[in-house]
Every structure is written in structure tokens, then in C-alpha cells.
Amino acid sequence: MLRKSNVIYEYIFYGHLCTNKRQTFYEKTSLFDKKTIVTRDELYQNTIGQRSQLSFKDAKMINLRYCTNKCYQEMVCYHGGYTDPNYCSRCICPSGWGGTNCQDVEPSRTAGCGKTLIAANESVTITSPTLVPNVHCVWRIKSIAQVDVTIGNIILPCQESCGSFVELKYHNDMTRTGPRLCCSASKRRFISDGNDFIIIYSGSSNADSRFSGFQFSYKTYDESLHTTKTWTNAKTTSAISLTTKQSTGPINTRGPLTPSRFTHPTTPTVGKESLKQNLGSHWSAWGQWSECSVTCGGCGVRKRVRACYGGNRTCSGPDYATEKCGEKRCEQASRIMDCKGRIVLPCDLMNKLDFGIFKTIQSDSKMERNEAILNVSTIELLNRRGRSIGTICEKRFSYFCVTNLLTLAIDWKRAHDVVRDSNGCCKGYFAVNGNCVKI
């Protein structure tokens, strides 16, 4: 449905529900110390798991799929908005945006806060109101270039899924929910993709007024003032040289700036084919291995992921790795009601038979006649027992006592038959020296 509706993945997709709750991930150790989902971008870890309402993309996906024929003419909607199927003369806008065509800032529901701000070269600091129930403030910061915002002094209730939060929308895709910050978060800096930056301050219905809120400062950010690039074609080789001069000012990573987010060599020389892929992009460290898909049986797989950051976010190589796990044979549950049985027959015959080969059994309406034949054969076998020549052997077996029909499957042994024990292993796997292997 996501693909058909052209709506990409959403961090606050309502189907996540409890995905950020530690209690939903239970281990045999009885420790609730794991998250069900860990976001690649750590800023979104407290964004997932909300269950207060459908996200904008949830509703948009449903409306585009089922309600596109409700209006005679579609509205022109900006910032990812779409025509309201119930009121065809207006648009439904993503959070932070309002007006008929989603070109204005969303009106704040709390008086005295939120408005449109114009960024300049000098930094300006804004202090939010104290947290109160249902507080709602929206600021739109505009700039002739990009917007440089520093969020600091966040003092809000700390929850795994932020109920009262500061949401930051700085990507070109304004339908995308921004990271939601709460707790006593440290100062962070963000730079917008374009010339708009939306800040949403929201309080839950039971918000505690002892929390003071947050502060933010803003100014314009002109990338050309901080980084200059000179391109030189290499005539004698198939490489292109890139010379980059960096000032002491910040480097724009199109997102939160942390020391590990962006590295840039001073004078790299790379091939033409790899230049576009590797310029300014780099892999993060590998994440932790996931839990094995099985605890035993041989067919387990675990996975780890990494993310591509910086530049055009195009890195060489895969973004995930897998390896086998859970190869130990599963312990067999002991059944205290096992009964024992045996088959007695000539040893030379036993060596020619396979036991435990199950085949399809055809139903027989002449059951009484077959039982009679079986009884006669049994009597004849007993009568011949005294005339048996050779050594008699026995084949012992176990079965569950509560069964009311014991079936023994016996067939002629074939030279190419291989005895394989699959007990305690996944389907298609067999026990070898205590481990399960696929044969």
C-alpha cells in the first residue's frame, strides 16, 4: 500500500504502536532491557511508538487510495498537502502548515507563542512558554538561504515515546514527521535542507507545569560562506581532483551536527565512477547484531545494519549484513509417560529392514478380513518359533503410552538409504555432532 500510494515510510506510523516499549521485548532472562525497533537515526528513537492519532501520512495514504474521486477538481496544495475530500475547496496540510493551500504557518492554539520569524545573520533566541496541558505553539523560520537552529535547555517530561515534545521539521519533505525531543536533552544544532524550518511545541493533556519548556536560537546559514569547492579535470588520468577549503565555521550536513556525522579529506583524488557515490558520504559504524531468528535447530539468521550519512547519502556496499546462528540442536522434551516396546525377529532379517519409514496408508473397507489374516499369521509365526534356525534379535523402541493405536512402519533396507536424525532440528536440517546442519 505504501508503494501504490507513493507515501514513504513514516516514523510515527500508527502500526508501530508499542514498538518503542521495552516491555514488548521479552527475553528468557526476564529482563525488559531491549527495544523492539531501534531507529537508524537516534533522534527518532523517542518519536516512534505514539498512539494518540493517525499520522499525516497514515491519513494521506488512506485518502489517496479510497477518496481521490470525491472532488471534481483537485486543489493546488503545497508542502505535501492534498485536497480535503470532505471540503474540496481547501487542502489538508502536514503539521506545521496551514491556510487554504498549505502556504502559511499552522495557527498556534496557545496564545502568545508561535509565529513566522525571519532569519538574519545575527542569532536570535526565543524562549517557549512553560509546559501546560495541551500547549500548542508553531514557529516557522524563513531565510533567504538555509536556516541554522540551535535547540537548548530542553526541560520536558522524559518518556520513551515523547508525550510532550519539541518537534523539528527541517527536511525538504515536510510531510515527514521530524524528530521529537523531550527529557533534559543536551544542546543540538540543526540546519534545514531548504529555506524553511518548522518548530512545533506540543504538550499532552496531562502535562506537568513544573517543566519549563525549551529555548531555541536561529539565524540564516549560507553554505557558500563556509565551504568553497574547486573542480579540476585531470587530463592525463581518469580521475578528478577535488580541493576543498574549510573555514573555522560549521559544516552543513543537512541534519544534526555531531563530530562523527561528517568527515571530508583535504585533497582527495577519486575515480570518475566512484566520485558521485563517495563524495561527502560515509558509513556509520555497524549496529549491534539482532537476536537470532531461532534459539536452536540450525536455520537461524541474525542481522546488523549501518546507515549512510553526509553528502548525497550514497555509499558503496550493502547497508546490512547477515550471518548464521542458532546451530545447536534443540533439547528434546522428556516425556515421563514413554512406554517401551520391542520387535523380535531373526538377526539376518533385521539387517535387511529399515524401521520408522512412514508411508501413506490407504484406507481399507475390509478391515475384519485383514484382522483375521493377521491373527492367522501370528498363530503360524508362533507355531514356527520352535523350528527357527539362526540367532534371534530384538529391536527396541519407545512410544507415548496414551496412544490407542501403535503403528510400526517397516520397509526393506536399500543400499543408498542414509540414516539421518532430524529430531531437534529445523525442517531440512539433521543432527551432526550436536549441531544441526543442512544436508
Is residue 256 located within the same domain as residue 343?
Answer: no
Taking the alpha carbons at both ends of the chain, their separation in whole angstroms is 39
Which has the closest alpha carbon to 81: 193, 175, 5? Answer: 175
Give the chain's largest Cα–Cα span.
113
Q: Which amino acid is at 403?
A: T
Is residue 113 located within the same domain as residue 191?
Answer: yes
Is residue 209 located within the same domain as residue 113?
Answer: yes
Is residue 115 located within the same domain as residue 202?
Answer: yes
Does the residue 405 lie in any domain? yes
Mark which of 204, 221, 238 sits at the end of a domain. 221
Summarize pLDDT for 374-387 with one digit per residue, the tens: 454 444 444 444 44
Helix H or strand E segment including 285: none
Residues of the chain with pLDDT under 50: 1-4, 12-32, 228-277, 357-361, 374, 376-388
Question: Residue 47 and residue 40: Cα distance in Å, rounded?
Answer: 12
> Looking at residue 322, what DSSP letter applies?
E
| Per-residue b or e along 284-320, where b marks 16 or more CB atoms closer than 10 Å to that residue's CB | beeeeeeebebebbbbbebeebbebbbbeeebeeeee
Beta pairing class for 136-142 and 116-118: parallel
The CATH number of residue 214's host domain is 2.60.120.290
CA 55 and chain centroid, separation = 18
Quote the pLDDT of residue 417: 55
Does the residue 2 lie in any domain? no
Mark which of 211, 245, 279 sits at the end of a domain. 279
Question: With 0-12 CB in 10 A as exposed, 13-18 as middle and 19+ as buried, what is 18?
Answer: middle
The CATH number of residue 302's host domain is 2.20.100.10
Is residue 122 located within the same domain as residue 213?
Answer: yes
Q: Phi, psi (5° rounding) for residue 294?
A: -135, 155
Is residue 274 located within the same domain as residue 289?
Answer: no
Does the residue 304 lie in any domain? yes
Quote the pLDDT of residue 7: 53
Q: Facing residues of 412 across strands?
A: 353
| C-alpha cell, 418 | 542414509
Does the residue 415 lie in any domain? yes
Query: 406: domain range?
Result: 338-361+377-422
Please list, in sequence order, all residues whose beta carbon lies within 8 angstroms of the beta carbon of residue 103, skipping any fewer than 6 positions away. 78, 79, 97
Does the residue 295 lie in any domain? yes
| Per-residue b or e along 397-426, where b marks 16 or more CB atoms closer than 10 Å to that residue's CB | eeeeeeeeeeeeeeeeeeeeeeeeebebbb
Does the residue 269 lie in any domain? yes
Question: Residue 261 and residue 366: Cα distance in Å, rounded?
Answer: 79
Is residue 160 located within the same domain as residue 242?
Answer: no
Question: Residue 247 and residue 10: Cα distance in Å, rounded?
Answer: 36
Please list, in sequence order, all residues whose beta carbon lies within 8 angstroms of the beta carbon of residue 439, skipping any fewer than 6 positions away. 420, 428, 429, 430
Is residue 166 located within the same domain as residue 188?
Answer: yes
What is the number of structural domains in the chain? 4
Which has the closest alpha carbon to 263: 280, 276, 278, 283? Answer: 280
Q: Phi, psi (5° rounding) for residue 283?
A: -80, 145
Is residue 254 located within the same domain as residue 299?
Answer: no
CA atoms within 13 A on the CB side of 390: 10
Question: Residue 264 and residue 279: Cα distance in Å, rounded?
Answer: 8
Cα→Cα distances 29→23, 32, 33, 351, 398, Å: 13, 9, 10, 48, 34
Q: Which amino acid is at 299?
A: C
Does the residue 153 lie in any domain? yes
Cα→Cα distances 105→52, 139, 149, 332, 383, Å: 23, 7, 17, 64, 101
Is residue 116 located within the same domain as residue 189?
Answer: yes
CA atoms within 13 A on the CB side of 9: 5
Cα→Cα distances 8→20, 171, 192, 317, Å: 20, 14, 20, 23
| C-alpha cell, 69 | 474521486
Q: Facing residues of 354 across strands?
A: 411
Is residue 155 located within the same domain as residue 196?
Answer: yes
Number of residues written out for the chain: 439
DSSP SS3 for 213: strand
- If phi > 0 it is left, if psi is from -120 to 50 it is alpha, else beta; for residue 351 that is alpha
Is residue 118 located within the same domain as residue 211?
Answer: yes
Does the residue 45 lie in any domain? no
pTM above 0.85, yes or no: no
